[in-house]
Structure 1
């Protein structure tokens, strides 16, 4: 039997099994600033228990969708994962708002390299859109930077050296330089045809984490002489580092500032005692025809373990409302993935 109850938001950090920053109180407070509400839940099932952050989005006509980022912990109900998720969803129905017509899980379990991602085939429905990137590459930092450097592809090591030789300068920047970074991010979004949040979204993240003891956000900038070429935002959470956002100019890309930035961030992660560095999103395979094939080559060039997560899966509370929403979401996917990128 599975039971669930509400808990204070701050107990997510102290009780949660998941190490993901997406299951923390600071992430909940960040999303609340931009239209979401949150519920912190503690669940118990036989000899297992854990906590869960659920984000709630209100839609027209009083409807609500529930979203669980990177949860629940992959060890929960591992012997029959789908049965566990169904039981959890049914129990949460009494806690979620009356207008909630489905709950979506962005699941943390994964397969590696060319193995197919975990999937389900009975009650849960694969979502038309994934919220978090289901495919990524994670670097092992436990042996330090030098073994990591030796394991990188030859071209990646060459580009890191080239940036240093040409005089690309990397700095750990104060958050007051975030507006400079955002100017580059807008250029990147236009060049690569990707959607980005308003400036306040990134500013709020830095504000929330300025005094956080277990999580820290850093802005690294790359310059040549006095010209800003690129910048990345990296999150350090417990023993994990995650490359969240990257921006670059259209100028002097031949100086390889993106490689210098990642090298700097990796060294910083090692110095902080991090054991993993998550590149946080790659295309699902090494397909040269994929629109983001260059991103795949860039990120996998640093080595690491390629991971494939199952992505987002839904448990409907109202089948009719859910089918309508799926149709609208599929149309949105077509617009963003096909039409907008033509």
Structure 2
């Protein structure tokens, strides 16, 4: 089957996403408003009967002084990735973007490749011979993922192998940690937490930690903690206007798309986090905390409140987002992996991000430039 592709309206795109149980928060129209340095377009795939059967948010970033664009579909597009005619989905997208002036296209197929249970992750961290999660035998493998990767490779797509910083790759995370909620009561989810998590939640409750839901006006408080976290964990923080723009854009599309939670103790805000929701998928997006009063365990209390609210609203999965794939104890990100694994659930590897050069000379030149920065 051949598919016709054209630019669709925000309303068409949003209706398409709303009809599906899970679509990335980076594949809804409002995400384009979060990225003002990029030009956003909503693309739609139509079958022979004129039905909208696929959609994708593409972000276009122009090169300085040249009307050429880098096209990026983070965690998308939303198409039938298992279709035997996968090339018939991607070819019209490439043709459209080439006509738009794109010299290179990057996308992130929302396709799961492997999963590791929390117990396997815990054992791997404790094993001095295990250096990377990807080298550890997976609990489950998704056979379709290898076939999809093969089709992409044969069609001329290449998996990106970006440089890493402290274990995280540029772009969107290939490895994440998720807690499945489908068919599980909140009591069952609580029993899935490890002993340390359950102990810390009780300790926070006994100490009087109160987790509340905040709003736009609380973002500066969140950002103060976030900048402290960035300095402590050695990453470059986003400015406060980014989060304010994110809140305004996402909540305008859906009042519950983005939420802010804050953990208080005796009038002091000790931790805060943002939570995003699209359909049945809930993400812990950005987290922040101070080193003050760590003994009252505000982070566990904060996450448990967010997980409880996500379960109450009918979430199918609670997504802790990115984890490092390094297992070396000396790496400071292993502590974050251990914290997330303590919530039960599983580590998940996606197919990764893939690029297609529409102008090979320009693609190579830009790639070389970025590698030298």
TM-score (norm 1): 0.88
Q: What is the alpha-carbon distance in structure 2 between the residues aligned to residue 245 and residue 134 of structure 1? A: 17
1:247 to 283, 288, 303: 288
Structure 2 residue aligned with 1:206, among 241, 247, 262?
247
Partner of 1:301: 342
In the aligned structure 2, how far is the partner of 1:72 from the partner of 1:228? Answer: 39
SS of aligned partner of 1:101: strand
- Pairs within 5 Å for 1:62-211: 62=66, 63-73=68-78, 75-79=80-84, 81=86, 83-84=87-88, 86-96=90-100, 98=101, 100-111=102-113, 112-113=115-116, 114=138, 115=141, 118=146, 119-120=149-150, 121-122=153-154, 123-129=156-162, 130-142=170-182, 143-211=184-252
Matches of 2:370 and 2:352 in 1, distance apart?
15
- Cα drift, residue 89 of structure 1: 4.2
- 1:27 is the counterpart of 2:60: no
Q: Are the counterparts in 1 of residues 157 and 355 from structure 2 also a CA contact under 8 Å?
A: yes
CA change 1:46–1:293 in 2 (3 A) is: farther
Instruction: Find the partner of 1:51 among 55, 59, 62.
Output: 55
Q: 1:60 to 1:271 in 2, by over 3 A?
A: same
For structure 2, the residue ranges without an aligned partner over 5 or more in a row are 117-137, 163-169
Q: Is the 8 A contact 2:4 2:46 kept in 1?
A: yes
Q: Could you tell me whether the CA contact under 8 Å between 1:76 and 1:84 is conserved in 2?
A: no
Equivalent residue number for residue 41 of structure 1 = 43
Whether the 8 Å contact between 2:55 and 2:79 is mirrored in structure 1 is no
The residue aligned with 2:4 is 3
RMSD: 2.3
Q: Is residue 54–residue 80 contact of structure 2 (8 Å, CA) maintained in 1?
A: no
C-alpha contact 1:4 1:91 (8 A) present in aligned 2: no
Q: Are the counterparts in 2 of residues 72 and 107 from structure 1 also a CA contact under 8 Å?
A: yes
TM-score by length of 2: 0.81
Deviation at residue 246 of structure 1 after TM alignment: 0.2
Q: 1:256 deviation in Å?
A: 1.5
Q: What SS does structure 2 have at the residue aligned with 1:131?
A: coil
1:209 Cα offset (Å) = 3.4
CA apart distance, 1:320: 1.2
**Structure 1 unaligned runs (5+)?**
333-342
**Structure 1 CA distance, aligned partners of 2:95 and 2:252?**
36
Equivalent-residue separation in structure 1 for 2:189 and 2:360 (angstroms): 49
CA distance in 2 between partners of 1:93 and 1:210 (Å) = 29
CA positional deviation for 1:61: 2.9
